Amino acid sequence: MQTAVTELPGSRVRVEVEVPASDVDRGVQRAARGLAREMRMPGFRKGKAPPALVIQRLGYGAVLEEAIRDSLPEWYERALLGSGVSPVGSPDVEIASAPQAEGEPLGFKFEVGVRPEAKLGEYRGLEVGRAEAEVPDDVVEREVERIRASVARLEPVERPGGEGDVLLIDFEGSIDGEPVEGGKAADYLLELGAGQLIEGFEEQLTGATAGEERQARVTLPDDYHAEQLAGAEAVFAVSVKEVREKVLPELGDDFVAEASEFDTLEELRGDIREKLSEAVGQRIEQDFRVAAIDAAVEAATVAVSDDLVAARAAERWEQVERQIAARGMDSAAYLQMQGKTREEIVAEAKPDAEKELKREAVLAAIADAEGIEVSEEEMVEALADAAEHERTTPEKLLKRLRESGRDALLREDVRVRKAIDLVAEAATPIAIEQAKAREKLWTPEKGREAAGSLWTPGSD
């Protein structure tokens, strides 16, 4: 497949593509086989008519149109891989020249946004705020109490149930007299205030006593497992069999020995603090790396057009739509749940889309400026998790990527990760308070941003 790329203003490119005759013919044959499945032709079972006969019956032009609809996404992807273009948003596609008969190539062209160029500033040795991995004592104590509650005894009491108590109940739901699918249980332990069941259910059982019969009227949630019942009003008949009170073990070494692998309360507290510190440290490290990249972006100059930002924001929403569809949900229903339109969702995504584009531009420019290369070993290492998920080896997965031309995408991804490592490792950590104080300082650059064209040299 031959491609020719022309740069356009506003971080856009035009790509002219010639699809080889062999690929076009293959697409036409595939389209003809698909059309045959919907046709009945004398002498052939449905779907068994040969492609040549389908083309003869419908005409080459009609089958070619179907082939273009089916194959254009594949041709577009191959054109991107072949031209090295990293698109932003959806393309504007136009058929430039269509074959009149088998054995002729097809030409199409498309315009699409691409990653903007960045003019780098300082990106090594940047001073970046970094938090301390401190775990407050009260956080440790809350975790101790959680563990303590997990081994609490439940003792029946002769009084109304309140928050923190556990009710032993039977319940059965109905809608207009018909049973609710999945809405029945016996000997269910319900902790009041824990939010275990449908919103509003527990509140209507507060104050119940053993032997009492109650009704709970609720609205089934939009994500109810029986989709046809989502949002319906249901009534649950509830029999309260017992009210049980949680009896916590005495806070001391005996409780620790029973509930954990440690012998003393101090050992348990130390282990909790260590694990929480590790988790907090990982988050702090991630935040520090992002802050280092943002500092490099702040020092760089990146012109991002409104159209490009809108295209990336729309692209982000389309990714969400695909994830929603993969979970068997409808995007329109999702928007209704959010109480927003597609346009509102995309508009809200624009600030993050702009940040994302600037980060990508700066990291790509750093990788180029530093001459970052990616070795075979690094590419294999990057595929380790994906290969394990697909139950193959990284080497075999890399071979497949090369055969499809997608190895260039992996190489660029690893280059960017190495650029992130370079900036983060070269950054100098400073106290968060010091970093925030610096952000508040007035500078001529901030004056230019605030005043636009009104700022003049000497006005500082």
Write the pLDDT tens digit of every residue in 354-410. 999 999 999 999 999 999 999 999 999 999 999 999 999 999 999 999 888 888 889
Rounded CA-CA distance 358/301 in Å is: 9
448 pLDDT higher than 50: no
In CATH terms, the superfamily for domain 2-114 is Trigger factor ribosome-binding domain (3.30.70.1050)
Contacts of 124 (CB under 8 A, 6+ apart): 422, 423, 426
Please state, for a pLDDT cut of 70, what percent of the chain lies above it. 95
Q: What are phi and psi of 241, to 5 degrees?
A: -90, -35
Please state, for a pLDDT cut of 90, what percent of the chain lies above it. 58
Contacts of 59 (CB under 8 A, 6+ apart): none
Write the pLDDT tens digit of every residue in 283-339. 999 999 999 999 999 999 999 999 999 999 999 999 888 888 887 778 888 888 788
Q: Where are the domains of the chain?
A: 2-114, 153-247
Strands in 252-338 per DSSP E: 301-302
Rounded CA-CA distance 410/414 in Å is: 6
CB burial of 281-316 (b: ≥16 within 10 Å; e: otherwise) equals eeebeeebbebbbbbbbeebebebeeebbbbbbbbb
Rounded CA-CA distance 119/121 in Å is: 7
Q: Are 106 and 97 in contact (CB under 8 A)?
A: yes
Write the pLDDT tens digit of every residue in 119-176. 999 999 999 998 888 888 999 999 999 898 888 889 999 999 999 899 999 999 999 8
From the DSSP assignment, how many helices (H) and strands (E) are in the chain?
15, 13
Query: Would strands 127-130 and 428-431 be described as parallel, antiparallel, or unpaired?
Result: parallel
Burial class (CB in 10 A: 0-12, 13-18, 19+), 51: middle
Please tell me the pTM assigned to this model: 0.69
Which of 139, 135, 134, 145 is CA-nearest to residue 265? 145
DSSP state of 239: E
Write the pLDDT tens digit of every residue in 23-47. 999 999 999 888 888 777 777 777 6
Query: Would strands 233-247 and 213-219 be described as parallel, antiparallel, or unpaired?
Result: antiparallel
* Identity at 142, one-letter amino acid code: R
Q: Among the residues of 60-130, which ranges form H helices?
A: 60-83
> DSSP 3-state assignment of 300?
coil
Domain 153-247 matching CATH 3.10.50.40: the answer reads yes
Write the pLDDT tens digit of every residue in 48-70. 778 888 888 889 999 999 999 99
Tokens coding 278: 């590790």
> DSSP 3-state assignment of 206?
coil
Average pLDDT, the chain: 88
Chain centre to alpha carbon of residue 305: 25
Helix axis angle, 60-83 to 51-58, nearest 10°: 110
Compute how many other C-beta atoms are within 10 angstroms of the C-beta atom of residue 415.
20
Rounded CA-CA distance 449/333 in Å is: 41
Rounded CA-CA distance 220/70 in Å is: 41
Do 153-247 and 2-114 have the same topology in CATH? no
